Amino acid sequence: MQITSRFTIAVHILTCIDYFCGQYSVTSDFLASSVQVNPVIIRQIVLQLKAAEMIHTTPGRGGMTLAKPLEEITLYDVYEAVDCVSGSLFHFHKNPNPECPVGKNIHAALDGSLIEIQKTFEDKMKETTVRDIATKI
């Protein structure tokens, strides 16, 4: 199980926009230098954040601004916006042996626990805002 780096890059982007807004024109090139990735990757994530109505963009060198304060954006909002995981965090092997006592019962024994773990994870993300992260910088 691993959430893609798009999630942490998106949090980095939002934090940079908040931190540098008014001081610099926060562009994809500016953000790429902070994140140290190709500006194309930044642009892809920016499009997702814009579609989720977290940021505004101005064409050209106008830069980016937040569409809402960081305290109104949770880590779960970002997680959903950048489509890090579709559906379940856990990917179960498809064909456990139905002739094996473990194989035929593993889904019934494990599925509920995994659903509960994912819900706990997502609930914690809903409690944590990007502002909570930004204040640590």
Identify the weakest region by mean pLDDT among 3-7, 12-16, 71-75: 3-7
Q: Which residue ranges make up each domain of the chain?
A: 5-134
Question: Is the CB of residue 118 less than 8 Å from the CB of residue 88?
Answer: yes
Q: What percent of the chain has pLDDT over 90?
A: 77
Give 21-62 pLDDT, tens digit per residue.
889 999 999 999 999 999 999 999 999 999 999 999 988 778
State how far the Cα of 111 lies from the Cα of 93, in Å rounded to an integer. 12
Cβ contacts of residue 13 below 8 Å, gap of 6+?
31, 35, 42, 45, 46, 49, 55
CATH, range 5-134 = 1.10.10.10
Q: What phi, psi does 84 have (nearest 5°)?
A: -70, -40
3-state secondary structure of 95: coil
Give 94-110 pLDDT, tens digit per residue.
889 999 999 999 989 99
pTM, full prediction? 0.86
Question: Is the CB of residue 18 less than 8 Å from the CB of residue 12?
Answer: no
